Amino acid sequence: MAIQSIDNLISSISAGQSTRYDWNKVSTVAATLGGSFDMSGQAALPVANAWAGTALNWVTCTETTGNGTQIFGMPHGGNVSPSVKHLLNMNAWGTAATAVPGTLTLVDMQGYYPGLTNNSAVAQTLVGTPTLRYTNGEGVRAYMVQTATGGAGAQNFNMSYTNQAGTAGRTMPATVACTASSVVSRINPSGVAANNYGPFLPLASGDTGIRSIQTVTLSAATTGTFAMVLARPLASITLSVAGLMTEKDLLNQIPSLPVIKDGACLTWIWNAGAATATATTLAGGIEVVWG
């Protein structure tokens, strides 16, 4: 059962029903103001996600199997059912002055469709039915991450998806503009230009989640490849002072204790509040408890 009291929390920790993981990521690309970046593909600890899988086919991601080739998510103690695992606290810091301000968002990556191409102006049909850790995809969001550098040509982006109610053929309610010459790991449509959205793509009115994506269509062809990710955001932490650890207590500071599902593939999205140089280190830790 879930943690229901401070006594229950203390008992669970005393019984060893908690764990901590310290992570360290070194950026392999320069981040631009307002851009969002998928940190799973960045170097160091855990290992970088190389987006393995057959092009356009769904790849499920879990704590213990990763993408089937690499375990790139943060370990958090394995499956605990029938107990319920909660995120207790998290901390983070950046080593460079340009790493602040910025925000890290912890997500449970359900999986992705790899190998889409920027070099197409016709619909790309995605294959496979995602296995999601959230009933009907409730709260699950989509983002487009560049896996090989995009070309300089302008592109708009659209997708057809099935929402949390099982309604297929849903489309985004706004024009979404891609970022020209988008670097690897950038969540392409994010930024400060007109029609940029990020990190998550907008949903049609009334939609609160995504079960699957059927097609992706770009308005023009250029170069590069990308993946479409389905992820559930869990919590965010803001960095404001270089070299100083920021901590977020999810019990007392903000009493939410997000649930960490069995098999969750935990990774970060970096939302840059300033231009950040290549080889900038972001590091921190997460603590979870179950009872």
Average pLDDT over residues 209-216: 98
Confidence of residue 147 (pLDDT cuts 50, 70, 90): very high
At residue 271, does pLDDT exceed 90?
yes
With pLDDT > 90 as the criterion, what percentage of the chain qualifies? 90
**Residue 82 one-letter amino acid:** P
Average pLDDT over residues 244-272: 95
* Inter-residue contact 238 to 245 (CB < 8 Å): no
Q: What is the pLDDT of residue 254?
A: 84
pLDDT in tens, 178-202: 999 999 999 999 999 999 998 999 9
* Inter-residue contact 87 to 234 (CB < 8 Å): yes
CA distance 31 to 117: 22
Confidence of residue 4 (pLDDT cuts 50, 70, 90): confident
Tokens standing for 209? 């989640």
Full-model pTM: 0.96
Domain boundaries, the chain: 6-290
CA distance 106 to 70: 19
Q: What is the pLDDT of residue 233?
A: 98
At residue 1, does pLDDT exceed 80?
no
CA distance 212 to 130: 6
